[in-house]
């Protein structure tokens, strides 16, 4: 569980399935749900394992929820908004009920549905239909085509992907040298500000305000030059495609960057420590959890077990 370590006085209300949750404006959906004791956000499609936020940094995809009728929104990357309708995915009601568990009881050695009821054909078709619907296909968005989209093309000398300490230190140097550049990060500004403070020896960083935040790069494509004989001289620039706007927003900006130099300062991902049931809700990565707590101005309450060592584990 989480509890506030600073009072803001403001409250934002969201509905998660049938439950009304009072969150704080600094919360993401993930911290609001964890704070309310709602750890499970979905079930995995095939084995119907319960799922909940793990990395809290947008990497693992275990925190997917449906928001205002839009499926597959990452709870850890989505700030709360008054009146949000949030639903768990691929679950029955009540959420903890899983009627498909009966399959494990009937087929104790596992079910090979490829060789089950293969004849007559009609029986096989019915069984396949039933089995597929039982495990869940997901649901389409309630409304389609309502999302506004804007396209922006941008040629520039340097593009930095990642606004952690390395990316922002480089951006500060480029600014000093008067070199035009852009720095993008898929985290929003409150998440970037929640990064741990660096020591006194650390280099100066570009301010978070300079970052094109909430902008995720989803593709880096080779430049158009193919190295063919007779091809015109000129820079062979990669196309970097990025999207700004967040998953639950109604407006999206699509950037097509053509940088002369491309710098990856993307950092590392939280690894999942191998142990039995490490995928169950309530098991979270320390680095992402610390950043989420800083962003939400919260601390952990109750007991928890820390596995591992190092800065994040000790934090």
Binding test (CB under 6 A) with ligand FES, winner from 4, 13, 45, 59: 59
Is 35 a residue that touches ligand FES (CB under 6 A)? no
Is 58 a residue that touches ligand FES (CB under 6 A)? yes
Q: Are 161 and 217 in contact (CB under 8 A)?
A: yes
Give 54 or 257: the residue with its C-beta nearer to ligand FES.
54
Binding test (CB under 6 A) with ligand FES, winner from 16, 54, 255, 257: 54
Give 244 or 270: the residue with its C-beta nearer to ligand FES.
270
What is the secondary structure of the chain as a DSSP string?
A: -EEESS-----EEEEETTEEEEE-TT-BHHHHHHHTT----EE-TTT--EE--SSSSSSS-TTEEEETTEEEEEGGG-B--TTEEEE-BS--SSTT--TTHHHHHHSTT---TTSSS-SSHHHHHHHHHHHHHHH------SS-S--EEEEEEEEEEEEEE--SHHHHHHHHHHHHTT--EEEE-SS-HHHHHTSPPPPTTSPP---GGGSB-SEEEEEEE--S----TTPPPS--PPEEEEEES-TT-SEEEEEEEEEEEEEE----PPPPP--TTTTSTT---HHHHHHHHHHHTEEE-S-----S-SHHHH-
Is 76 a residue that touches ligand FES (CB under 6 A)? yes
Binding test (CB under 6 A) with ligand FES, winner from 2, 24, 51, 62: 62
Is 279 a residue that touches ligand FES (CB under 6 A)? no
Is 78 a residue that touches ligand FES (CB under 6 A)? no
Is 293 a residue that touches ligand FES (CB under 6 A)? no
Is 74 a residue that touches ligand FES (CB under 6 A)? yes
Is 65 a residue that touches ligand FES (CB under 6 A)? no
Binding test (CB under 6 A) with ligand FES, winner from 37, 61, 69, 196: 61
Pairing type for strands 12-16 and 84-87 reads parallel
How many residues interact with ligand FES (rule CB under 6 A)?
A: 12
> Which segment (19-27, 60-68, 149-157, 197-205) binds ligand FES by CB under 6 A?
60-68
Tokens of 163: 């606004």
Binding test (CB under 6 A) with ligand FES, winner from 21, 33, 56, 289: 56
> Which segment (54-62, 149-157, 185-193, 273-281) binds ligand FES by CB under 6 A?
54-62
Give 59 or 210: the residue with its C-beta nearer to ligand FES.
59
Is 186 a residue that touches ligand FES (CB under 6 A)? no
- Calculate the CA dihedral of residues 260, 243, 218, 261 and round it to 10 degrees: 10
Binding test (CB under 6 A) with ligand FES, winner from 63, 161, 163, 174: 63
> Which segment (6-14, 53-61, 295-303, 306-314) binds ligand FES by CB under 6 A?
53-61
Residues that bind ligand FES (CB under 6 A): 53-56, 58-63, 74, 76
């Amino acid at each position: 569980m989480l509890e506030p370590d600073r009072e803001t006085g403001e409250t934002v209300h969201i509905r998660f399935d049938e439950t009304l949750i009072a969150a704080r404006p600094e919360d993401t959906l993930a911290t609001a749900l964890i704070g309310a004791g709602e750890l499970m956000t979905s079930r995995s499609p095939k084995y119907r394992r319960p799922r909940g936020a793990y990395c809290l940094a947008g990497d693992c995809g275990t925190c997917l929820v449906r928001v205002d009728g839009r499926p597959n929104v990452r709870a850890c990357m989505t700030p709360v908004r008054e009146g949000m309708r949030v639903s768990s995915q691929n679950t029955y009601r009540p959420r903890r009920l899983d009627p498909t568990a009966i399959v494990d009881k009937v087929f104790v050695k596992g079910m090979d549905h490829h060789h089950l009821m293969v004849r007559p054909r009609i029986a096989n078709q019915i069984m396949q239909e039933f089995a597929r619907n039982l495990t869940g296909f997901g649901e389409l968005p309630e409304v389609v085509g309502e999302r506004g989209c804007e396209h922006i093309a941008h040629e520039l000398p340097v593009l930095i992907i990642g606004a952690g300490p390395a990316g922002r230190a480089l951006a500060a140097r480029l600014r000093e040298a008067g070199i035009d550049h852009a720095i993008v990060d898929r985290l929003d500004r409150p998440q970037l500000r929640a990064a741990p403070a660096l020591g006194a020896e650390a280099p100066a960083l570009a301010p978070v305000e300079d970052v094109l935040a909430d902008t995720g790069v989803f593709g880096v494509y080779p430049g158009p030059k193919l190295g063919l004989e007779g091809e015109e001289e000129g820079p062979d620039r990669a196309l970097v495609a990025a999207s700004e706007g967040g998953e639950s927003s109604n407006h999206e900006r699509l950037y097509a960057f053509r940088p002369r130099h491309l710098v990856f300062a993307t950092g590392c991902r939280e690894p999942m420590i191998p142990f039995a049931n490490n995928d169950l809700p309530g098991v979270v990565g320390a680095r992402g959890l610390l950043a989420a707590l800083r962003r939400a101005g919260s601390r952990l309450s109750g007991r928890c077990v820390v596995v591992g060592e190092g800065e994040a584990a000790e934090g």
